[in-house]
Structure 1
Amino acid sequence: MNFAPLPEVQAAAVPSDGFLLDVREDDEWAAGHAEQAVHIPMSELVARFGEVPADQRVHVVCRVGGRSAQVAQYLIAQGLDAVNVDGGMLAWERAGRPLVTDHGGPAVVV
């Protein structure tokens, strides 16, 4: 079987108005996340699939890129335009992209 390579995008290249899907767990999200991100933990994705837009590219991110790669593959299999954010939130932070918290404290990637 031949599999197409998983489409990936560098963290610095994710458009600020793009749909960013963060599939990390609740504690990871709470520590720090991209302001425009939508949080759906990987374990909840199938149940919450309807929250993922089918009419635009979905940029999928986790901590380092493993879980998001699996989610991106799943979304592509469902017919969506999905890409994995290479290097995850650690790459996002290294690229100097902003991080926020819901509680207003300092944001970190855990």
Structure 2
Amino acid sequence: MPIKIINSLLILFVVFMGFKQGWAMFSGKPEMLAMFSKWRFNSQSLILLGTITMLSALLILFPRTFVFGNFLMAITILLIICLQLSTKNLKGAVIELPFLLMNLLIIYLQYPLTKFK
């Protein structure tokens, strides 16, 4: 039972962070524009990435789309890690790693509100 509570809190944190970062990208916050402009992302592509990030966070909340939402969010995080590494920003890539690992851990622990078979 405590593992389900920890998993639920972890899911809520990941969803919150997904919406927070997705909204920052979608709304075109100056920090996001500055970070992604070095990888030649324009405002439209940043809006698209922000939308995908927020959609993936929303999909995590539902049992039927739980794995797909985590997978989609892991892909966006992996994209950012690869972009950070392409500009030799090891610190930026390492900062993203715990978020990627959280999505993988959540998939491993499974959706907390379903009954075991």
- When the two structures are superposed, what TM-score results if normalisation uses the length of structure 2? 0.27
Larger of the two Rg values belongs to structure: 2
Higher relative contact order structure (alpha carbons within 8 Å, sequence separation ≥ 6)? 1
More helix by share: 2
